[in-house]
Amino acid sequence: MSEPSPDQLPDQPSTQPARTSGGLGRVLIAVYAVFAVAATGRSSIQLATHASEAPVPYALSALAGVVYVAATLGLARRGAVWRRVAWIAVSVELVGVIGVGIVSVVHADWFPDDTVWSVFGQGYGYLPLVLPFLGIAWLLRTRAPR
């Protein structure tokens, strides 16, 4: 008779982090996916039709789209590498939305149109400001037990 594997022992705590794509994580991933499409689409149109009006804000919006894609993939996939991708993406997102938010308030004339992170995501109902905090909270909640 063979012995049960370690993952079959009833009193053996798991040392693996919880899946980030389960439960409420699915909703978070869906929101990130919507923002990935929205930011990428909007910035693509802005850059294609009138990039000369505000190239830096539109490029920052395109960067936001890439960050949202990375966060979506990082949260949706399993493994240490994808978890690290998610951490990096939500951290860059937090710094980006706060940094661009401050600059867009101080120099409003640099932002002729709303971008995803301008005025702290005002054009998107301030969800871009809240989203990285939710992402960080979810990553912390699903981390491996100590």
Q: Which pLDDT score is estimated for 54?
A: 85
Radius of gyration (Cα) for the chain, nearest Å? 19
Which residue positions in the chain have pLDDT lower than 70? 1-22
Helix ranges (DSSP H) in the chain: 24-50, 55-76, 80-106, 127-141
Q: Which pLDDT score is estimated for 130?
A: 97
Query: For the chain, what are the domain ranges?
Result: 20-141
Q: Which pLDDT score is estimated for 44?
A: 93
Q: Which pLDDT score is estimated for 96?
A: 97
* Integer Cα distance of 138 and 129 in angstroms: 15
Contacts of 106 (CB under 8 A, 6+ apart): none
Q: Which pLDDT score is estimated for 11?
A: 54
Q: Which pLDDT score is estimated for 1?
A: 53
